[in-house]
Amino acid sequence: MTDRILIIDFGSQVTQLIARRVRESGVYCEIVPFNSAEKALETFDPKAIILSGGPASVTHADTPRAPAKVFEMGVPVLGICYGEQTLVNQLGGRVENADHREFGRAHIEIVDDCLLFDGLWSKGDTQQVWMSHGDRVIDIPAGFRPVAVTKSAPFAAIANDEKRFYGVQFHPEVVHTLEGAALLNNFTHKVAGCSGDWTMAAFRETEIARIREQVGDGKVICGLSGGVDSAVTAVLIHEAIGDQLTCVFVDTGLLRAGEAEQVVSLFKEHYNIPLIHVDAEETFMGQLEGVTDPERKRKIIGAAFIDIFDEEAGKVDGAQFLAQGTLYPDVIESVSFTGGPSVTIKSHHNVGGLPERMNLKLVEPLRELFKDEVRELGRELGLPEVFVGRHPFPGPGLAIRIPGEVSKDRADILRQADAIYLDEIRNEGLYDEIWQAFAVLLPVRTVGVMGDERSYDYACALRAVTSTDGMTADFYPFEMEFLGRVATRIINQVKGINRVTYDITSKPPGTIEWE
């Protein structure tokens, strides 16, 4: 069995980034909420444990703590931010509310060497990190020593070499901490001794065997959306069980230009996977008529999709399993210990769930993977780059990029503008530099002059963002010449648009979709 790291989550909004960095170093890991950690420790058999950050304060008696067993198992432990504070508190140290809180970029001074810093930082160095805390450690437990400080945090990093316990007040998982990923790599490889042998090729073989064992000689149905998650799910399952899989592709009329044709061509003709193709544009447009509330639009699309999918799936004789492209972030959000807004957030991206009336067992081969890992698996499976590298596109599709009422005419106008925008981005060689780019048809019509005639047409907004983690985003700094060229093409070639603008909004941690 490959080495495994367990991450105990105390509610930090960037806990998933810890897991991403650990997996990037070739080590498998999972996240578990603090209130489920006791049970997980009995079955997971971790090579090491990481305690995440969180919004609470250990100065309050009723705030989260790590199971005592964490410190009794004889495995290395790394506490990050709140994780360091609860480690200190539970082992006999002291934490207090800080007079000077630290949020954002800060600089730590390395006051002693340790294995966590090996090959990265040495005594006397000053390094940029990312802080986010209102408490500070003022007394460390026996056996620990300080290895980094700031002006307001005398124990910005601590080490217990004998027990292999470490704590850092900063967040090494975010890109703003220089060498943070390498620090986590030191913990997993040099401190914990993990081999780093977790690869996508190994995952592929393991998952194929798991699918065969779960399904046996049963039949599986899989809903295709045109996105990378469902595409990789379908190809992986087909590799495992062949024609026992049938795919159902519901064309909602809300896809990007050419996507429906690409799905049918790839899966029906190239892979020869049994495919049911349903052109349901009229159904969706009819149900969306007159609806302007964005959340209601999502719910209508979700309900219609499920009804159509359910009807078509019922035509597959003997279907016992439903395949879904559930990803690891979906799993984490579904067990959020805070009981927070994950359901509302997920409705922003997805269009449905598994109706009880379908009475099917779930097959979710991607539920242990992050988005970037799904792309890597897709390449491992030989999927074309047009699918693997495609920008994210949530289930409601163009509907959430048409504020106000959705209609076929508006969807067609937006589809044309979006295609031109993406075509110019590809021509410029920028598509892979940008995490997500799209056009938005604004619910605003403006008076203009086109040649010798007055026009009364829609305004179109363009958006492009860069992101390393899908949680934070910044606008892409296009050259004005490029934006001018795109705007000119859209206005000249798309009947119904006479004005184009570029959105330069940045996004803090959270969703980065439109609306």
- Give the range among 233-247, 332-346, 351-365, 409-423 with minimum mean pLDDT: 332-346
Per-residue pLDDT of 430-470, as tens digits, reads: 999 999 999 999 998 887 666 656 677 999 999 999 886 66
pLDDT of 117 higher than 80: yes
Say which of 29, 81, 222, 460 is annotated catalytic. Answer: 81
Helix (H) or strand (E) holding 40: helix 37-43
Q: What is the mean pLDDT of residues 111-128?
A: 93
Question: Which of the 8 DSSP states describes residue 409?
Answer: H
User: What is the pLDDT, as a whole number, of residue 514?
Assistant: 42
Q: What is the mean pLDDT of the chain?
A: 88
Task: Provide the percentage of residues in the chain whose pLDDT is more than 90.
Answer: 62
User: What is the pLDDT, as a whole number, of residue 352?
Assistant: 47
Report whether 471 contacts 513 (CB < 8 A).
Answer: no
Per-residue pLDDT of 206-262, as tens digits, reads: 999 999 999 999 999 998 888 889 999 999 999 999 999 999 999 999 999 999 999
User: What is the pLDDT, as a whole number, of residue 342?
Assistant: 35
Q: Name the burial class of residue 418, with classes exposed (0-12), middle (13-18) and buried (19+) by CB atoms within 10 angstroms of its CB.
A: buried
Say which of 84, 173, 312, 368 is annotated catalytic. Answer: 173
* Residue 21, amino acid: R
User: What is the pLDDT, as a whole number, of residue 348?
Assistant: 40
User: What is the pLDDT, as a whole number, of residue 470?
Assistant: 63
Domains of the chain (ranges; CATH) run: 4-191 (3.40.50.880), 200-388 (3.40.50.620), 406-502 (3.30.300.10)
**What's the CA gap between 418 and 158, in Å, rounded?**
51
96 is catalytic: no
Say which of 29, 114, 171, 194 is annotated catalytic. Answer: 171
Helix (H) or strand (E) holding 330: helix 328-334
User: What is the pLDDT, as a whole number, of residue 452?
Assistant: 58
pLDDT confidence bin for 506, thresholds 50/70/90: low
Report whether 170 contacts 136 (CB < 8 A).
Answer: no
**What's the CA gap between 22 and 446, in Å, rounded?**
51
513 is catalytic: no
Question: Which of the 8 DSSP states describes residue 194?
Answer: -
pLDDT of 188 higher than 60: yes
User: What is the pLDDT, as a whole number, of residue 80?
Assistant: 96
Report whether 154 contacts 138 (CB < 8 A).
Answer: yes
Written as six digits, the tokens of 303 are: 């309900």
pLDDT confidence bin for 270, thresholds 50/70/90: confident
Q: What is the mean pLDDT of residues 324-345?
A: 60
pLDDT of 292 higher than 80: yes
User: What is the pLDDT, as a whole number, of residue 358?
Assistant: 67
- Give the range among 26-35, 244-253, 320-329 with minimum mean pLDDT: 320-329
Helices and strands of the chain, counted as H and E runs: 15, 18
User: What is the pLDDT, as a whole number, of residue 135?
Assistant: 81
pLDDT confidence bin for 23, thresholds 50/70/90: very high
pLDDT of 511 higher than 50: no
Query: What is residue 497's three-state secondary structure?
Result: strand
428 is catalytic: no
Nearest to 232, CA basis, from 247, 213, 244, 217: 247
Nearest to 199, CA basis, from 15, 391, 31, 369: 369
Please report the DSSP string for 393-405 in residue order: --TTGGGGGS-S-
Q: pTM above the 0.75 mark? A: yes
pLDDT confidence bin for 349, thresholds 50/70/90: very low
Higher pLDDT, 53 or 347: 53
pLDDT of 194 higher than 70: yes
Report whether 58 contacts 85 (CB < 8 A).
Answer: yes
Q: What is the mean pLDDT of residues 309-313?
A: 89
Pairing between β-strand 319-323 and β-strand 219-224 as defined by DSSP bridges: parallel
Query: What is residue 236's three-state secondary structure?
Result: helix
